[in-house]
């Protein structure tokens, strides 16, 4: 009994010190500003630089700020904590091990730029220079945001200069990379602008095909296209409703000699009306109501109320919406790289 009591007392006393070392979870792979040293705008600037580095050079460089390592059960030097966090997150490509992590522990007044094992010790000196000459002078004046931003710029230019010192790419690779960079820089909106221009010749061809003269199969007499008013006499009720809803446009051609009639249907490219299950005309309106919103853990549910403007049939359908993904999979997690302790540290 006494032994048990002693054990309990010992455990209780030792518990705070014996607390296991943990690491923060990342919410994204570019900037995790746990100590809130950066404004949203400053974060955005840094994030866009880090994104570009990742898309152009394939290098994962992440910035982490914490208040103190003690929050994660760690006391003492920053080096083992930085290496542990780097490997816990798996920063960088798993085969190249070329990740970079800038870690700032504000109240410990310590920082480290940890690099993946692929760099060996080659980055220790340049990172030390960046910390001592670019970052720490800013931190000493409490300019954390400036120190981080200037430091990120300096690290990126060191990493990319190192690449251009390597054997130069052949010309066609350079040109191709230039084109890729241009497309990445302008963004996807360019396709939205270009699409209507690409469709112009298609539309012109369709217009010509639709307007060209029709010849009567019975007597080879040129046919006449009826105007909207007189064509209705030859259309079914459902077709007139379709024209009214603009889901389908009809041309009615009539031979002036033998009164032969040809009806041609032109479906609208963009119409909110679907085909009715009862009368088959494109006169079906669908109204979607979200009954249950999808979350990251559960699927959602939508009710679709259909109503036909021609035969007035009504019916209801259900749709399950997929779970929300936390973010796009390609940029939501690190590549699984590791560090063997390369890099440099500083304090202020």
Nearest alpha carbon to residue 264 among 273, 276, 254, 251: 251
Which residue's CB is nearer to Zn ion, number 117 or number 310? 310
Tell me if 340 contacts Zn ion by CB under 5 A.
Answer: no
Signed CA dihedral, 86, 88, 93, 96: sign only: positive
Taking the complex as a whole, how short is the minimal distance between the CB of residue 244 and Zn ion, in angstroms?
Answer: 14
Tell me if 260 contacts Zn ion by CB under 5 A.
Answer: yes
Q: Which part of the chain contacts Zn ion (CB under 5 A), choosing from 73-81, 84-92, 162-170, 209-217?
A: 209-217
Tell me if 278 contacts Zn ion by CB under 5 A.
Answer: yes
Tell me if 276 contacts Zn ion by CB under 5 A.
Answer: yes
Which residue's CB is nearer to Zn ion, number 68 or number 262? 262
Please tell me the distance from the alpha carbon of residue 85 to that of residue 93, in angstroms, as a whole number.
Answer: 16
DSSP letter string, 215-233: B-TTT-PBPEEPPHHHHGG
Taking the complex as a whole, how short is the minimal distance between the CB of residue 257 and Zn ion, in angstroms?
Answer: 5
Tell me if 255 contacts Zn ion by CB under 5 A.
Answer: yes
Candidate list 115, 145, 149, 216; residue touching Zn ion; CB under 5 A: 216
Taking the complex as a whole, how short is the minimal distance between the CB of residue 241 and Zn ion, in angstroms?
Answer: 9
Please tell me the distance from the alpha carbon of residue 51 to that of residue 204, in angstroms, as a whole number.
Answer: 42
Using CB under 5 A as the criterion, what x/- string covers residues 152-191 for binding Zn ion? ----------------------------------------
Signed CA dihedral, 177, 178, 180, 184: sign only: positive
Taking the complex as a whole, how short is the minimal distance between the CB of residue 191 and Zn ion, in angstroms?
Answer: 37
Tell me if 262 contacts Zn ion by CB under 5 A.
Answer: no
Taking the complex as a whole, how short is the minimal distance between the CB of residue 284 and Zn ion, in angstroms?
Answer: 6
DSSP letter string, 91-155: -SBTTT---EEEEEETTTTEEEEEE-GGGTTTTHHHHHHHIIIIIHHHHHTT-HHHHHHHHHHHH
Q: Which part of the chain contacts Zn ion (CB under 5 A), choosing from 3-11, 13-21, 135-143, 210-218?
A: 210-218
CA distances from 320 to 88, 252, 289, 326, 329 (A): 36, 42, 12, 18, 22
Which residue's CB is nearer to Zn ion, number 218 or number 327? 218
Nearest alpha carbon to residue 140 among 347, 308, 309: 347
Using CB under 5 A as the criterion, what x/- string covers residues 293-332 for binding Zn ion? ---------------x-xx-x-------------------
Which residue's CB is nearer to Zn ion, number 103 or number 255? 255
Tell me if 148 contacts Zn ion by CB under 5 A.
Answer: no
Signed CA dihedral, 166, 172, 177, 178: sign only: positive
Quote the longest CA-to-CA distance of the chain.
118
Entry field: residues in the chain: 348
Which residue's CB is nearer to Zn ion, number 137 or number 274? 274
Which residue's CB is nearer to Zn ion, number 7 or number 275? 275
Specify whether the CB–CB gap between 139 and 147 falls below 8 A: yes
Tell me if 247 contacts Zn ion by CB under 5 A.
Answer: no
Q: Are strands 284-292 and 300-308 parallel, antiparallel or unpaired?
A: antiparallel
Which residue's CB is nearer to Zn ion, number 29 or number 276? 276
Candidate list 6, 27, 39, 218; residue touching Zn ion; CB under 5 A: 218
Tell me if 8 contacts Zn ion by CB under 5 A.
Answer: no
Encoded tokens for 218:
């019975």
**Collapsed DSSP state (helix, strand, coil) of residue 324:** coil
- Terminal Cα distance for the chain, rounded: 52
Binding site for Zn ion (CB under 5 A): 216, 218-219, 255, 257-258, 260, 276, 278-279, 308, 310-311, 313
């Amino acid at each position: 009994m006494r032994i048990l009591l002693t054990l309990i007392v010992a455990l209780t006393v030792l518990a705070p010190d014996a607390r296991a070392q943990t690491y923060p979870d990342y919410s994204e792979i570019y900037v995790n500003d746990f100590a809130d040293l950066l404004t949203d705008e400053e974060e955005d600037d840094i994030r866009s630089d880090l994104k570009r580095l990742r898309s152009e050079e394939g290098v994962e460089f992440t910035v982490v700020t914490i208040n103190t390592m003690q929050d994660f059960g760690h006391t003492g030097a920053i080096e083992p904590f930085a290496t542990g966090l780097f490997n816990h997150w798996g920063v960088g490509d798993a085969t190249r091990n070329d990740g970079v992590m800038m870690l700032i522990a504000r109240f410990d007044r310590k920082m480290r730029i940890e690099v993946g094992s692929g760099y060996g010790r080659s980055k220790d000196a340049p990172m030390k220079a960046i910390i001592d000459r670019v970052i720490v002078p800013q931190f000493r004046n409490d300019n954390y945001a400036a120190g981080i931003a200037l430091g990120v710029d300096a690290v990126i230019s060191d990493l990319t200069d190192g690449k251009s010192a390597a054997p130069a790419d052949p010309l066609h690779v350079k040109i191709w990379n230039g084109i890729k960079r241009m497309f990445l820089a302008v963004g996807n909106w360019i396709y939205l602008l270009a699409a209507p221009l690409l469709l112009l010749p298609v539309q012109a061809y369709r217009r010509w095909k639709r307007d060209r003269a029709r010849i009567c199969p019975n007597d080879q007499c040129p046919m006449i296209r009826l105007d909207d008013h007189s064509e209705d006499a030859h259309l079914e009720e459902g077709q007139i409703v379709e024209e009214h809803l603009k889901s389908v446009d009809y041309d009615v051609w009539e031979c002036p000699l033998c009164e032969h009639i040809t009806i041609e249907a032109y479906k609208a490219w963009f119409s909110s009306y679907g085909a009715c299950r009862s009368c088959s005309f494109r006169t079906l309106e669908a109204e979607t109501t979200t009954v249950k919103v999808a979350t990251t853990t559960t699927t959602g549910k939508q009710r679709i109320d259909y109503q036909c403007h021609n035969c007035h049939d009504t019916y209801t359908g259900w749709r399950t919406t997929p779970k929300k993904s936390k973010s796009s999979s390609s940029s939501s997690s690190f590549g699984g790289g590791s560090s063997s302790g390369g890099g440099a540290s500083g304090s202020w």
